[in-house]
Amino acid sequence: MEAFGQAQWYFAILALGTALAVPIAALPACISQGRAAAAAFESIARQPSVSGDIRANLIISLALIESIVIYALLVFFLLQGRLPSLQQIIEAAAG
Amino acid sequence: MSALIWVLAFLLAAAQPVQAVSAVPDAGEPAATVEMEEHADADHGHGASMPWHDQHTVFNRVCLLLRDASLPAFGAFGMSPEQAEEIANSVFQPFVVMTWIICGGLMVLSLYVRKRLGRVPQKDIAGFVEMCVDSLRGFTRGAIGPGGEEHAPFIASLFVFITLSNWAGLIPGLISPTGVSEGDFLLGLNTTLSLALVAIIYVHYVAIRKAGLKSYLLHFVGEPWWLFPVNIPIHIVGEVARPVSLAFRLFGNIGGEDKVLHFLAIIMFLSAVPLHVPMTFFAVFTGLLQAYVFTALTCSYIAGFLEHQGDAHGNDTHAGPATAQA
């Protein structure tokens, strides 16, 4: 029964980590993407003649910022496989 | 156009062995090391059985039929039945079959269009393909700089292949080779990692070929030459991180997109709110966008190496805006 209690803690913390991995990474990434887009639009409004260059660089830098969140998403995919199903929890609790 | 076909064939040849080898052990390890995973192992089956054998979609059935039909052909090469089954299990996974379908379709289309090339553009699909090739050539020139058109066959075939792979997952019943995952098995990483490896090998090949071996090595030494003990490891880590980040970005974007579509479709069945319809249109856009990002980053890697060519090492902007990070 001792081991079951420890496993409960392990899975509770694992579930929290799985659920919070993407939101914690996404929050600052959203803010910085917004800042990048705002700066790009400002400079396009100031100098519409170079809007093509600015747009290409904006897309690439947005992709680079986004990749951090994508790494968190991959961690989420990996952790998600470690979580037991409801069926397994019920069986473990009964046994 | 014929160069495009050859590069596609090269891509295909380079991509398949990586997938066939790394599909099973890569993804299988984490499941085996965790002690709580007996149930999951039972779900995935034992021995020769692969996870995709349990899914009963039409496309999976077709792949199984292809696998069974090909077993005698493997035997003809003098393999034992176990070896033949193992190899056939890897080669005829649904996402690998999807890769073959996309590559084959592109090759047939290219051959057809090449036959119809003429002085006047056609008004059917041949004209459309010509327009695509033209704009992709312009895109390559814009991203690499003057003289960048010579890389257009490679860059354009990467772009077209990645775009079609991303869009394949939006067709019901099919899967996108760049974004498919089954539970713990991140299968799409096989496709994206092999694409990124091919792209990075091409970048280094062009760097050595165009800028010369001396300039290529000087790129690693860095600007004040006496800082080389710091610069060389940093540059090597940066070069290793490039394909990994390319592959993970593509896989994460497309796989996450497909997962979200999957859940929204389930919500549609539960609550009759068709939330997945706008998301599907958005996925068409992001599929194109991710292919653009992949090829634009490859182009800027090439441009970063080529800027050393010829002129002195005075300018510090060898990496450009996009290549400062891996």
**ipTM confidence score:** 0.77
Cross-chain residue pair A74–B292, CB shorter than 8 Å: no
E-assigned strand segments in A1-95: none
Instruction: Say which of A57, A66, A74 has its CB closest to residue B321.
Output: A57
List all residues 6 or more positions away from B317 whose beta carbon is below 8 Å from its beta carbon: B307
* Token reading at B308: 């050393």
Contact yes or no for B185/B50 (Cβ under 8 A): no
- The answer as to whether A45 is a domain residue is yes
- Choice between A32 and B16, residue whose per-residue pLDDT is larger: A32
Whether residue A66 is contained in a domain is answered as: yes
CATH code, domain carrying A75: 1.20.20
> Which pLDDT belongs to residue B309?
58
pLDDT score at B52: 61
Q: 3-class DSSP state for residue B148?
A: helix
What crossing angle do the helices spanning B152-168 and B188-211 adopt, rounded to 10°?
170
Question: In a structure prediction context, what are the per-residue pLDDT tens digits for chain B, which is 326 residues long?
Answer: 455 555 555 444 444 433 333 333 443 334 333 333 334 444 443 344 555 666 667 888 888 888 888 888 777 777 787 888 888 888 888 889 999 999 999 999 999 988 888 788 778 888 889 899 999 999 999 888 888 888 999 999 999 999 999 999 898 888 899 988 876 778 889 999 999 999 999 999 999 988 888 888 888 887 787 888 888 888 899 899 999 999 999 999 999 888 889 889 888 888 888 888 899 999 999 999 999 999 999 999 998 888 765 544 444 444 444 444 44
| B 229-258 → A contacts, CB under 8 A | 245, 248-249, 251-253, 255-256
Question: Rounded CA gap, B181 and B177, in Å?
Answer: 9
Task: Classify residue A60: in a domain, yes or no.
Answer: yes
Contact B184, B4 (CB under 8 A): no
Nearest residue of chain A to residue B325 (CA atoms): A64
Contacts of B68 (CB under 8 A, 6+ apart): none
Residue of chain B with shortest Cα separation from A22: B256
Q: Is A35 on the interface with B (CB under 8 A)?
A: no
Burial of B297 (0-12, 13-18, 19+ CB in 10 A): buried
CA A85 to chain B, closest CA, distance in angstroms equals 9
Query: Quick one: tokens of B247?
Result: 């592959």
B296 touches chain A (CB under 8 A): yes
**Nearest residue in chain A measured CA to CA from B296:** A60
Residue A74: list chain B partners with CB under 8 A: 186, 248, 251-252
pLDDT tens-digit map of A38-84: 999 999 999 999 988 898 889 889 988 988 898 898 888 888 878 88
A51 touches chain B (CB under 8 A): no
List the helix and strand counts (H, then E) for chain B: 11, 0
Contacts of B30 in chain A (CB under 8 A): 78, 81
Cβ–Cβ gap B142/A56 under 8 Å: yes
What DSSP designation does B1 have? -
Q: Is B303 on the interface with A (CB under 8 A)?
A: no
CA distance B150 to B240: 25
Nearest CA in chain A to B32: A82
Which of A20, A11, A35 has its CA nearest to residue A88? Answer: A11
| Total number of domains in chain A | 1
Closest CA to B157 of B1, B323, B322: B1
**B181 contact A CB<8A:** yes
Domain ranges of chain B: 2-50+93-306
Helix then strand count (H, E) for chain A reads 3, 0
Which domain range does residue A13 map to? 2-21+40-94
CB within 8 Å: B256 and A73? yes
Q: How far is residue B246's CA from residue B277's CA, in Å, rounded to a whole number?
A: 29
- Whole-number Å distance between alpha carbons of B21 and B229: 36
Cα Rg of chain B, angstroms: 22
Q: Is residue A29 one of the residues assigned to a domain?
A: no
Rounded to a whole number of angstroms, the distance from the CA of B222 to the nearest CA of chain A is 23
The answer to whether residues B296 and B162 touch, using CB atoms and an 8 Å cutoff, is no
Choose among A56, A74, A81: nearest Cβ to B248: A74
- The partner residues of B185 in beta bridges, in order of sequence, read B182
A76 contacts A91 by C-beta, under 8 angstroms:
no
**CB environment B74-100: b (16+ within 10 A), e (fewer):** beeeeeeeeebbbbbbbbbbbbbbbbb
The answer to the question of residue A81 being in a domain is yes
Smallest Cβ–Cβ distance between B322 and the set A60, A70, A84 belongs to: A60
> Does position A12 have pLDDT exceeding 90, yes or no?
no
